[in-house]
Structure 1
Amino acid sequence: MQKGMLALAVGAALLLGGCGDKAEHATNAVAADVQAGVKSDVKSQEQGLNEQAKSAYLALVDSYFKDYLKLEPLYATFFGVNDYNAEFGGDLTEEYLKARHDFNSGYLAKARAIDRAVLPADLQLSYDLFIYDRNMALVDETFPARFLPMNQFYSTVITMVQLGSGESAQPFATKQDYLNWESRLDGFIAWLERAETRMKEGMESKVVLPRVLVERMIPQFTAQQVADVKESIFYAPITKLPAELSAEDKAELEQRYQALIGERLLPALAKMESFLKTSYLPAARASDGWWGLPNGKAWYQHLANLHTTTDKSVDEIHDIGLSEVARILAEMDKVRTQVGFAGDLKAFFASLSSEPQYFFSDRQGLVDGYMALKDDINKVLPKYFNVMPKADYVVKPVEAFREQSAAGASYEAPAVDGSRPGVFYINTYNLKAQPKWGMTTLSLHEAAPGHHFQIAIKQELTGVPEFQRFSGYTAFEEGWALYAEYLGIEMGLLSDPYQYFGKLSDEMLRAMRLVVDTGLHAKGWSREQAIQYMKDNSPMAESDIIAEVERYMAIPGQALSYKVGQLKILELRADAEKRLGAKFDLRAFHDQVLTSGSLPMAVLEQKIDRWVKAQLQ
């Protein structure tokens, strides 16, 4: 209501004074109208402020996401944004490091200028994500990760080999696509040179990898050296040139790729291999954990917080792990008794890890077994989920070049535009590391309803900021996947005692990780000590245990996220069931967990609490 109209209304009320009950009634009516008008005006103004804040926030995060893709062109390709497919990025240059700092600090300041309190509930959640990300990124850059640009498990080199195979996110459908990849390879060759420089700086600063990890990296580079350029995995896209290309274009691309790969790329990879062998390996450290680095314990505590999205101390996480290992061992012994095994638990482990009936005799049989299991799981999913991904997934063996050092299984997200399914990678290198009794739980974790559900649904979300669709938190994603294994019990997929043992075995792996990861990086454990602990407490194949321990050595803190995340999701579910009673709907709970993207644990807790309160109204 405008000021002039308010004055007229008050004036009219005064003129009616002295006219008895009718006048008093009229006065009260006018006053009520005035009050209602003021309230309406205030409400309108509040709504206007709310809309302004909402528009400002959405514009901010839209701008952020676009700028992020410019800064990280490789990520843009995996997100299905093809504007930067010709660019590699400069993640080891001083210019890049400054740009990244300015990017995060600048967007943090802009976000703090927006009043969170006037945003709608869904955007308050999004706002909390955004602030959390910027703060953690700024803390992360205070540690010298630039001196450790690669390892045997996760590295830009592995990513580039996968993209270069023509079977990943990099498109190869037009001539321009091929030229884009050629340009990106130029950037990668320059990156290899910068990586060597940064690793030399690390050698001077005593920030280097453990010796055994360097020994694992060297064969990955050796595998890229071929007698004939046409045998290189980077040449694979040329063997699949689109039929629509002219003969001239095909001949041109073949010539360009042969020159680029043979004269520049392979020599650059050989140079890095030589540097690793002759310079870096002798300078590698004898300690196996992050405690052996300058300020290593503080760095590790940060990484533990980063990956678990909690503020739990390393000691607390270690103790949780010891408790969980003891609990799961007791459950395993119950299975041993149930199936009538005569020996003790250690003998039961040995039997399950060695007897031929528990393993496939050929690689393809293992892959086919997972494809058949996919059908069985898909049949029961609708009973437990309202929301399911549109994208499908396929099962593939891990590529030969990395199978010796890769994990037993992994998942790759589908293309955002739906042109490529998700991939459930199964490592067929050592069939004795892939027991039949572990297949159900591994499929639940890596594929549906684990990683495939969580990641594909996140990518398919509408009505949420782009950064939210593509950001990720290990505790949420791995916690959900481990929760999906637990859900297999309720889904009736683990009624066979051996398959249930497989679930316990995988859960034991995640519990041992809490002990071993913290042991390696904060308590001075050696690689051999960590391997022995896992041998003593699980039926895992030794080759698998070694790959796991070396993975923890390479990416400290990441392995903590699985169990910490699962325990939080189970805690939130139990709390919701208790508070809601008969009103609790499991499918609705799963909707709440999966339909806002990947969340830090504290933000997920706030969301579930709001949902429970809404159900109780």
Structure 2
Amino acid sequence: MKTSLLAIPLAIASCCSLVACSNTTSTTNQPASNSVSAIAVSSTDSQLTQFLEKEWQRFISQNPEMASYYRLGDDTLHAQWSDLSLDAINQRHTDDQNALAELLAINKASLSKAQQLNFDLFRWQLEMAIDEHQYQSYLMQVNQRGGVQTLDNFANYVPLDTVADYERWLKRLEALPTVIEQTTVLMQLGIDTGVLPPRKTLSRVSGQLEKQLVENAEESLFYKAFKQLPEAFSEQDKQRLQNHAKTVIADQVIPAYTAFTDFFNQSYLPACRDTDGLSEIPKGREYYEHLVKYYTTTDLTPDAIHQIGLQEVAKNRAAMLEIMKEVGFDGSFDQFITFLRTDPQFYYDTPEALFDAYLAVSKRLDPELVKLFGKLPRMPYGLKAIPDAIAPDTTTAYYQPPSADGLRAGYYFVNLHEPGTRPKYEMEVLSVHEAVPGHHLQIALQMELGELPMFRRLQGFTVFIEGWGLYSERLGYEMGLYQDPYSRFGQLTYDMWRAVRLVVDTGIHYKGWSRQQAIDYFTQNAAKSKEDIINEIDRYITMPGQALAYKIGQLKLLALRDQAENALGDKFDIRAFHDVVLGSGSIPLNVLEANVQEWIDKQLK
């Protein structure tokens, strides 16, 4: 399992994935032998169930941020941070190795078909985590998208409803200096071993750290959670909690950040590398190959994915040129993109107007879902603005899943920073990806699959989650969206954006491309704003391989839909097809393919 505070829900919300497991064996593995008695099968199934539950408890106990985010586990977990000491990291690696040995001792042939799939998925998750440990990615603990410098934002995700909740949050604040010290030790080891991020992207962290250095505790980002305490609290409790917070922040939190900022600016940032690609760190090329498999659940090579990207870019560009003709634009492709980036008609003047427009788009989506899905999630979703402290350095939008206890809805977060860089023609396509029928519909449905073990209900495969989000963008046509040619161009822009990712991600991390070369290629091929493009390229540099999942997953989903439509003809039911695709939760692409083929075969009988 990944060992970093970057794996807490701040990053999860951005990536729309929890633990992004990778490839796994097919569901067509040999089923249980007919000679095995039902009692024996049941006994072995029970053995695996108990093992998976034990491992789930280990996972949340070693990742207490996850326990808080999903409101799970013992209350004591909600007062803790993950242990980032090197001893603890190595112990988790040993625990993973021991868990794999215990799993392999279970007789897979005696398991039911459903449990064989659980066995395969968890085995691959463990094998990928064990393999990743050798690359020491845990030494790169901060980046412009998160780390100890943005932990104040975690107050937006933890339960803060009762006096006891605030007391547990205060215990976390008291423990924060230890987390910062452990982070410093790991980053120093990164300096010593050469496992370092690029200086160009990491330079943004200095500004984020600066926001933590305040003279008055009441001005601290960590004090925001205490400014307006629930009205139900007694005045005595309010005063006690606020005074305690001020003391902890002034005496412990701010001094810890001051020391860390000095280390970061004076030692770490100067030591970071001038290169951009992962291949420039020790074992970096092999690590990227690992991440490609991890994020796509395929055996595609980086070179093959690069070529797929070039083909998809060419296809999208041809479709974009057709829309240019439709609107009668007299100029080159570059001039048309400049027109879209600069003409005031495509932008809102204020953050408030932009937010209201997102609300209006979201309201139009929900009634259209019944045409495409037989089963919809019970959990609703809401719309929120991305916090101001992180908005300048993060993406256009992201999705935050609901809590597992059903007390917090899902949320679609939108970036209102500099509304003049957020085009109107992107709003529909962005909303179907992040909200419905994209991330909220898929993830909320997955969380409601009560027959699945917890690791499958609350964890996922990026290629499925993001592939579904990108596939959902095409469903906007069937939902009556994209009526305006510029909105259709927006949909193509987003598809082009994901195609460009295949080219630039592999280019940066495997083919020696520079950051500027990647920015230039993106700028030449997509009508995204300059700010968005730079943020996106810096994201790909920081999160190698993750960006590949979107297009690879979407292409598989589109191919499977074509396969089903061609095989079934008039018997094809889009609602039933989508229910099959989403009915097993987030799964690797080969498992998805097997599920769809099984469904097709049943329809043809």
Please report the TM-score for the alignment, with normalisation by the length of structure 1: 0.90
Deviates more, 1:371-380 or 1:228-237: 228-237
Whole-angstrom CA distance in 2 between matches of 1:610 and 1:50: 23
- Correspondence list, 1:434-473, <5 A: 434-473=422-461
Report what 2:26 is aligned to: none
Q: Secondary structure at the match of 2:450?
A: coil
Deviates more, 1:214-223 or 1:231-240: 231-240
Q: Given residue 429 of structure 2, which amino acid in structure 1 is its aligned partner?
A: T
1:351/1:180 Cα in 2 relative to 1: closer, same or farther (>3 Å)? same
1:219/1:277 Cα in 2 relative to 1: closer, same or farther (>3 Å)? same
Whole-angstrom CA distance in 1 between matches of 2:346 and 2:269: 39
For structure 1, list consecutive stretches of 5 or more residues without a partner in the other structure.
1-41
Report what 2:111 is aligned to: 119
Correspondence for 1:313 among 291, 301, 309: 301
1:226/1:111 Cα in 2 relative to 1: closer, same or farther (>3 Å)? same
Are 2:563 and 1:571 equivalent residues in the alignment?
no
Whole-angstrom CA distance in 2 between matches of 1:524 and 1:221: 31
Whole-angstrom CA distance in 1 between matches of 2:149 and 2:379: 28
Q: Secondary structure at the match of 2:395?
A: coil
Report what 2:549 is aligned to: 561
Q: Secondary structure at the match of 1:407?
A: coil
- Does the Cα contact within 8 Å between 1:407 and 1:427 map onto a contact in 2? yes
Whole-angstrom CA distance in 1 between matches of 2:122 and 2:352: 44
- Correspondence list, 1:46-445, <5 A: 46-83=37-74, 84-90=77-83, 92-158=84-150, 160-164=151-155, 167-168=156-157, 170-445=158-433
Whole-angstrom CA distance in 2 between matches of 1:43 and 1:362: 67
Deviates more, 1:405-414 or 1:599-608: 599-608
Q: Secondary structure at the match of 2:330?
A: coil
Cα RMSD between the aligned structures?
1.7
Whole-angstrom CA distance in 1 between matches of 2:359 and 2:180: 38
Deviates more, 1:229-238 or 1:256-265: 229-238
State the shift of 1:156 in Å: 4.8
Q: Secondary structure at the match of 2:488?
A: helix
Whole-angstrom CA distance in 1 between matches of 2:593 and 2:90: 34
Whole-angstrom CA distance in 2 between matches of 1:197 and 1:43: 55
Report what 2:472 is aligned to: 484
Are 2:531 and 1:540 equivalent residues in the alignment?
no
Q: Given residue 563 of structure 2, which amino acid in structure 1 is its aligned partner?
A: D
Report what 2:8 is aligned to: none
Q: Secondary structure at the match of 1:424?
A: strand
Deviates more, 1:519-528 or 1:338-347: 338-347
Whole-angstrom CA distance in 2 between matches of 1:595 and 1:154: 33
Map Cα deviations across residues 567-596 of structure 1 (whole Å, 9 max, x no partner). Answer: 111122222222333332211121122222
Q: Given residue 374 of structure 2, which amino acid in structure 1 is its aligned partner?
A: N
Q: Given residue 124 of structure 1, which amino acid in structure 2 is its aligned partner?
A: Q
- Does the Cα contact within 8 Å between 2:70 and 2:405 map onto a contact in 1? no
Report what 1:600 is aligned to: 588
Map Cα deviations across residues 101-123 of structure 1 (whole Å, 9 max, x no partner). Answer: 23222222222223333433332
Report what 1:32 is aligned to: none
Map Cα deviations across residues 132-177 of structure 1 (whole Å, 9 max, x no partner). Answer: 111111111111112101111143543x22222xx32x11222221
Larger CA Rg, structure 1 vs 2: 1
State the shift of 1:45 in Å: 6.1
Whole-angstrom CA distance in 1 between matches of 2:366 and 2:68: 30
Report what 2:7 is aligned to: none
Q: Given residue 94 of structure 2, which amino acid in structure 1 is its aligned partner?
A: D
Report what 1:30 is aligned to: none
Map Cα deviations across residues 46-96 of structure 1 (whole Å, 9 max, x no partner). Answer: 211221122112111111111211111111112221521011121x21332
Map Cα deviations across residues 14-73 of structure 1 (whole Å, 9 max, x no partner). Answer: xxxxxxxxxxxxxxxxxxxxxxxxxxxx97962112211221121111111112111111
State the shift of 1:382 in Å: 0.8
- Does the Cα contact within 8 Å between 1:129 and 1:603 map onto a contact in 2? no
Map Cα deviations across residues 448-503 of structure 1 (whole Å, 9 max, x no partner). Answer: 11111111111222111111101111111110000000111222212321111101
Q: Secondary structure at the match of 2:391?
A: coil
Deviates more, 1:67-76 or 1:317-326: 67-76
1:157/1:610 Cα in 2 relative to 1: closer, same or farther (>3 Å)? farther
Deviates more, 1:571-580 or 1:345-354: 571-580
1:349/1:390 Cα in 2 relative to 1: closer, same or farther (>3 Å)? same
Whole-angstrom CA distance in 1 between matches of 2:176 and 2:493: 40
State the shift of 1:438 in Å: 0.8
Higher relative contact order (CA 8 A, sep 6+): 2
Q: Given residue 138 of structure 1, which amino acid in structure 2 is its aligned partner?
A: I
Whole-angstrom CA distance in 2 between matches of 1:604 and 1:210: 36
Q: Given residue 213 of structure 2, which amino acid in structure 1 is its aligned partner?
A: Q
- Does the Cα contact within 8 Å between 2:44 and 2:107 map onto a contact in 1? yes
Moved over 4 A (4+): 42-45
- Does the Cα contact within 8 Å between 1:89 and 1:187 map onto a contact in 2? no
Whole-angstrom CA distance in 2 between matches of 1:155 and 1:472: 22
Deviates more, 1:446-455 or 1:391-400: 391-400
Whole-angstrom CA distance in 2 between matches of 1:426 and 1:107: 40
- Does the Cα contact within 8 Å between 1:576 and 1:612 map onto a contact in 2? yes
For structure 2, list consecutive stretches of 5 or more residues without a partner in the other structure.
1-32
What fraction of aligned residue pairs are identical, expressed as a percent?
A: 38
1:44/1:530 Cα in 2 relative to 1: closer, same or farther (>3 Å)? closer
Deviates more, 1:332-341 or 1:585-594: 585-594
Whole-angstrom CA distance in 1 between matches of 2:350 and 2:576: 42
Q: How many residues align?
A: 571
Whole-angstrom CA distance in 2 between matches of 1:431 and 1:580: 46
Whole-angstrom CA distance in 2 between matches of 1:116 and 1:581: 38
Q: Secondary structure at the match of 1:404?
A: helix
- Does the Cα contact within 8 Å between 1:221 and 1:269 map onto a contact in 2? yes
Deviates more, 1:322-331 or 1:251-260: 251-260
Q: Secondary structure at the match of 2:411?
A: strand
Please report the TM-score for the alignment, with normalisation by the length of structure 2: 0.91
- Correspondence list, 1:10-29, <5 A: none
State the shift of 1:256 in Å: 1.0
Q: Given residue 408 of structure 1, which amino acid in structure 2 is its aligned partner?
A: T
Whole-angstrom CA distance in 1 between matches of 2:409 and 2:395: 21
Whole-angstrom CA distance in 2 between matches of 1:563 and 1:216: 28
Q: Given residue 512 of structure 2, which amino acid in structure 1 is its aligned partner?
A: G
Deviates more, 1:545-554 or 1:411-420: 411-420
Q: Secondary structure at the match of 1:443?
A: helix
Whole-angstrom CA distance in 2 between matches of 1:404 and 1:307: 26
